[in-house]
Every structure is written in structure tokens, then in C-alpha cells.
Structure 1
Amino acid sequence: MWIGWMEFDILLGDVRSLKQKRSAVRPVIAELTRRFGVSAAETATQDLHRRAGIGIALVAADRAHVVDVLDTAERLVAARPEFDLLSTRRGLAKSTDED
């Protein structure tokens, strides 16, 4: 079993309130969940209206599938015109890996 995760650090465009931020971030989280079957959530900077941290995670039987999903999800977020993707962090582990 392979476990993969990714964190996106995003700068939002013309957003002036936390309410507008939620309006921009929620559809992305829903699309990531729907298209890729991942768990997704806003994970950082909830109190800043122009920054967002979004995290995704998935479990799959093979490494290639996890890497493919993470790569495709990164391209999807990077292609959003209303966002500037500042950075991503990712992790990949096998369930039998030692800590």
C-alpha cells in the first residue's frame, strides 16, 4: 500500500475577505476530491484572506498511481487563473516503511 500527500501554498488574486477566500478555495477542494478521489482540505493560513494552504492525501495499491494523481492534481491547481501557486510539498511512503 502506498500513501501520498501534497500541500499547496497558494496566493489568491483579488480577494478582500475571508468569505471571498472560501468562495475561491471550496470549489478547488471539491474538484480535487471529485476528479481524483483524494481527501482534500484547507490546511493552513485559514486566518489570512489572500493566502491558502490546501492539502490532499490518497492511498493506492501501487506507487505509479499515487505519483500520477499527485502530478495531475498539481497541474490542475497550477492552471487555475485566479491562483498563483507559490510552492508545493509532497510525500510518498510505503506502508511497510520504517519510521
Structure 2
Amino acid sequence: MWIGWLEADLLLGDVHSLKEKRGYVRPLVAELGRRFSIAVAEVDHLDLHRRTGVGVSCVAADARHVREVIDGVERFLAERPEFELLSVRTGLVSSTDD
């Protein structure tokens, strides 16, 4: 079993409140989960209205598939006009790693 994860730091555009932020982040989290069949959550910058951290994870039998999904998520985030992708951290581990 292979487990891949991605943590993205995003800068939101013209957002002036946490309520407005939710209007951008909730649809993003839902679309990522639907499109890539992954677990997704807002994981950082919860109190800031123009920043967010999004974390995703993917589990599969094949490391190549996990890497393709994680790379696809990164491309998807980079192409979104309402966000600026500031940084991305990724990881890939096997369940047999000690």
C-alpha cells in the first residue's frame, strides 16, 4: 500500500472576511475530493482571511498512481485563477517503510 500527501499554501485574491474565504475554500475542497477521489481538508491559516492551507491524501496499491494523483492536484491548484499557489510540500511512503 502506498500513501501520498500534498500540503499547499494558497493566497486568496480579493477576499475581505473569513465568511468570503469559506465561499472559496469549501467549493475547492469539495471539487478536489470529487475530481481526484482523495481525502481533502483545510489544514492551515484558519484565522487568516487571505491565506489557506489545503491538505490532501491518496492511498493506492501502486506508487505510480499515487504520484499521478498528487501531481494532478498540484497542477489543478496552480491553474486556478482565484488562488496563488505559494508553496507545495509532498510525500510518498509505503506501508512497509519503517
TM-score (norm 1): 0.98
Distance 1:73 1:53 in 2: 14
Q: What is the aligned-residue identity percentage?
A: 60
Query: What residue number does 1:83 align with?
Result: 83
Structure 1 regions of 5+ residues with no counterpart? none
Shift of 1:58: 1.1
AA matched with 1:65: H
Deviations 1:15-34 (A, max 9, x none): 00000001001111111100
Aligned residues: 98
Distance 1:72 1:36 in 2: 8
Query: What residue number does 1:97 align with?
Result: 97
RMSD across aligned C-alpha pairs, in angstroms? 0.4
Deviations 1:3-26 (A, max 9, x none): 000000000000000000010011
Distance 1:5 1:91 in 2: 5
AA matched with 2:5: W
AA matched with 1:57: S
Structure 2 regions of 5+ residues with no counterpart? none
Distance 2:22 2:91 in 1: 26
